[in-house]
Amino acid sequence: MKQIVFDYQVFAMQTYGGVSRYYFELCSRLQELSNHEMSGRIVAPIHVNEYIQKLPKSQLAGSFRFKRFPGAWRLAHPFNQFLSRKLLSQANANLVHETFYSQHSVAPKICPTVVTVYDMLFEEQAKHSHAYQALLQVKKKAIERADRVICISESTKRELIKFLAIPESKISTIHLGFELSTDASVIANANNKFVNDSKKSTTKPYLLHVGYRAGYKNFTTLLKAYAASDYLKNTFNLVTFGPNPLTRDERQLIDELKLAELVKYESGSDDKLISYYQSAAAFIHPSIYEGFGIPLLEAMQFGCPVLCSDTTSMPEVAGDAANYFDPQSIDSMRFAIEKTVADSAEKALQIQRGHERVKQFSWNKCTLETIKVYQQLLCQ
């Protein structure tokens, strides 16, 4: 049985998060889906990650979890490098999948390596700033060093070729999987627990935004588009659900736009997020840039009409199951939202298409396509 090893990097950085979830899903499914030709193992000597705690001990090498604190990754890095090389030599690794970008690989020299590229956002931003140059040099070195590169969307693949001139023959595009919850009892419980909860921030119909808001996430343009529409303001609240409360600058803009009583902030568990998706009049994703866009699929799974930007990977992920707008245009965004929420037939069609679209993305499919990449390298 071939040993596929995932290195420590992302598990030392993320307690939760999409990137560490991706590698956890690959590792946990690898043996069964490869018909026991391969087994996955994570070498994360010192880590902060919750997902990998669910793996059997046989799939974790020398693992010690500690509580995350500022600078933890930097402090643990030299120990992780040293211990990982030792553990990898003992693990008889046949292939190493590097989980982030590093100056030097911990993989044995004779061992083929794979690296996954999620987006080229820093390369885009570096055109206007020198702040990311050191990180970009490390990323470039890691990608050029790898024997095979996986991109999570065709959009990311095109940008990788544009910025780094990586040969197309070295790149495979494999979409991420998706699974907020497929358990019917969990979904029903979320609905029963929160939809009619008096603690919910609004009893008025609402538009939903999910995730981070700063910079390229473009939340301020959404606020301005919402403020520009008397129909939207009179009919709906705007709820933003995410990990970070509204900032002082965001609150100031909300006050200037006279939206203080209309914009609500929420955070919480997956159950709570599911309930907000289920009851929203529409989900709006105004981001200017995405390497993939998991919230689009979350909204579709839970029967929420989707509106999103017509840029980068979002049309690739959402297909015909979303209505699109120009994220740089307040009028384009406002018109698309008004048109969708005012037309019940359009909403019903988007919900139906969303349920079909989300079936195209699964962790099993992602793992099977990744196994093919591993097999190609191992046969060389």
Return d(Cα 353, Cα 341) in angstroms, integer. Answer: 16
Which two three-digit tokens encode residue 189? 């419980």
Q: Which of 67-71, 275-279, 282-286, 326-330 has the lowest average pLDDT?
A: 67-71
Its pTM stands at 0.85
Q: What does the pLDDT average to over 258-283?
A: 94
Tens digit of each residue's pLDDT (9 = 90 or more) over 16-41: 778 888 999 999 999 999 999 999 99
Per-residue pLDDT at 129: 67
Per-residue pLDDT at 161: 97
Per-residue pLDDT at 50: 85
Q: Which residue has the tokens 């499919």?
A: 365
CATH of 184-358 given 3.40.50.2000, 3.50.50.60, 1.20.120.1760, 3.90.79.10: 3.40.50.2000
Q: Residue 113: which of 149, 61, 165, 157 has the closest Cα?
A: 149
H-helix segments, the chain? 9-13, 18-33, 72-91, 121-126, 133-145, 154-164, 184-194, 219-227, 230-235, 248-256, 270-279, 294-301, 314-318, 330-342, 344-358, 363-378
Per-residue pLDDT at 68: 64
3 state DSSP class of 296:
helix
Query: For the chain, how far is it from start to end, CA to CA, in angstroms?
Result: 17
Q: Is 286 exposed, middle or buried (0-12, 13-18, 19+ CB in 10 A)?
A: buried
Above 80 in pLDDT, residue 189? no
Contact indicator for 219, 240 with CB cutoff of 8 Å: yes
Contact indicator for 51, 65 with CB cutoff of 8 Å: no
Per-residue pLDDT at 198: 43
Return d(Cα 9, Cα 30) in angstroms, integer. Answer: 20
- Tell me phi and psi for residue 309, to 5 degrees: -65, 150
Which two three-digit tokens encode residue 132? 């990311």
Contact indicator for 289, 312 with CB cutoff of 8 Å: yes
3 state DSSP class of 331:
helix
Q: For residue 128, what pLDDT band results from cuts at 50, 70 and 90? A: low
Tens digit of each residue's pLDDT (9 = 90 or more) over 234-265: 999 999 998 889 999 999 999 999 999 999 99
So where are the chain's domains?
A: 2-177+362-378, 184-358
Asked if the domains at 2-177+362-378 and 184-358 fall in one CATH topology, the answer is: yes
Strands 206-210, 323-325: pairing is unpaired
Bridge partners for 65 per DSSP: 47
Amino acid identity of residue 352, one-letter, is Q
3 state DSSP class of 204:
coil
| Contacts of range 81-89, beta carbons closer than 8 Å, 24 or more positions apart | 81/106, 83/45, 83/46, 84/7, 84/8, 84/43, 84/45, 87/43, 87/45, 87/61, 87/62, 88/5, 88/43
Mean pLDDT, the chain, integer: 89
The CB-side HSE value for 320 (13 A sphere, CA atoms) comes to: 5
Q: Please indicate whether residue 109 or residue 325 has the higher confidence score (pLDDT).
A: 325
Which two three-digit tokens encode residue 47? 């880590």
- Return the sign of the alpha-carbon dihedral for residues 128, 18, 39, 36: negative
CATH class of domain segment(s) 2-177+362-378: alpha beta
Number of H helices and E strands in the chain, helices first, is: 16, 15
H-helix segments, 34-153? 72-91, 121-126, 133-145
